[in-house]
Amino acid sequence: MRKTLTFAGSLLLATALTACGETATEEAAPVCDRACLIDLTANYVAGIEGNNAEGITFADEAKIVENLHRIHAGEGLWADTTGAGTDFGVTVPDEINQTAGWLGMIERAGVPTVVAIRLKLDDQGKIAEAEHLYAEVPADRAEERLTTPRPGLLAEVPADARMDHDALITLGASYYDALDDNDGTLMPFSADCQRHENGMVTAGADAGAGPNNNTSPIARDCAGQLSSNVMAYITRIDNRRVFAADPVTGLVMGLSHFRHPMDFEPYEVTALDGSKIMYDTARLPFDPFDLPAAHIFKVGADGMVHEIEAMGFRADLNAATGWEDDAAAPAEGASGE
């Protein structure tokens, strides 16, 4: 629901201030408040599931990027989605930034598909930027962990323990520093933190041993895994954008672009017993690739990160992001009004 100040209310306010001989500036209400952003996101997802962009209001110069490519409204997922997904869906509304994020499931070309969406509104409440990331998910994995969100992701933080919006944004950004610097102390991970990626448990309780055939176990908790140096093969994390934070739920959402040239020099990884394991390209025999990704972080009442829900897809190494100034922009048909 949009919050507006009526003309009569504005007149009364101005009169009162004048009578008191004071000058004041009323803080502007957001064009789209929290409930409005949640509804807008739900309608956007419903439009994709229904193959119909006509109910979505885009700005005239709106830019839409899907899996690194510029598209028009009505193209991409709007055309390829063959049905609604599961009940798995997490929304991150941000009144201050006038943005919203969503991570959830659809069916694309008959295949379970995890999707992340970023929406940015202009000062008229129209969508100025939209971004879609999607990746196919095996049906058995979707059924196991992508049917409904983990309860912790949706739980509200008690009002007296909620973190400030800007502090949440800063905290979310610390994940990329922790990963880039191989230092799990740079983000406040809770001991029970668990990270899911494309429906797989990749850190925390129930995480597998990892694909690298180590002679000694490596830490799998969210902090210890990063500090072990096991992720050092990730050369750069570009296009970092922590764009939405919701103090009510403690959710923070960011997008990024991981670069994996796979030409690294051998490096040491610390095992749980303190021994060192040498990692080289023979242990990680992967072709070079990029991984555009989305992450949602759940910050609890204790200010610690308890859940991470992530998705990403493989792209060519050093792929353009789709947001470069010289990227082909949509011509006609960008408006869904």
Residue 189's domain spans which residues? 150-317
Nearest to 162 by CA among 246, 252, 38, 37: 246
Structure confidence at residue 216 (pLDDT): 83
- Residue pair 105/86 in contact by the 8 Å Cβ criterion: yes
Structure confidence at residue 213 (pLDDT): 60
Same domain, 165 and 142: no
Same domain, 167 and 283: yes
Sheet holding 99-108, edge to edge: 69-70, 58-66, 127-136, 111-121, 99-108, 81-94
Structure confidence at residue 328 (pLDDT): 60
Same domain, 305 and 159: yes
Same domain, 84 and 161: no
Same domain, 200 and 101: no
Q: What is the CATH number of the domain that holds 221?
A: 3.10.450.50
Whether residue 140 is contained in a domain is answered as yes
Burial bucket for residue 239 (CB in 10 Å: 0-12, 13-18, 19+): middle
Whether residue 22 is contained in a domain is answered as no
Domain count, the chain: 2
Same domain, 43 and 172: no
Number of neighbouring beta carbons within 10 Å of residue 233: 18
Whether residue 41 is contained in a domain is answered as yes
pLDDT (tens place) for every residue of the chain, 337 residues total = 333 333 233 333 333 333 444 443 456 789 999 999 999 999 999 999 999 999 899 999 999 999 999 999 999 999 999 999 999 999 999 999 999 999 999 999 999 999 999 999 999 999 999 999 999 999 999 999 999 999 999 999 999 999 999 999 999 999 999 999 999 999 999 999 999 999 999 999 888 766 556 678 899 999 999 999 999 999 999 999 999 999 999 999 999 999 999 999 999 999 999 999 999 999 899 999 999 999 999 999 999 999 999 999 999 999 999 999 866 654 444 333 3
Whether residue 79 is contained in a domain is answered as yes
Structure confidence at residue 206 (pLDDT): 86
Whether residue 266 is contained in a domain is answered as yes
The last residue of a domain, from among 146, 163, 180: 146
Whether residue 281 is contained in a domain is answered as yes
Same domain, 69 and 89: yes
Same domain, 63 and 159: no
Whether residue 13 is contained in a domain is answered as no
Same domain, 281 and 156: yes
Q: How many CA within 13 A on the CB side of residue 103?
A: 28
Structure confidence at residue 208 (pLDDT): 75
* pTM score above 0.85: yes
Whether residue 292 is contained in a domain is answered as yes
Same domain, 111 and 130: yes
Same domain, 95 and 170: no
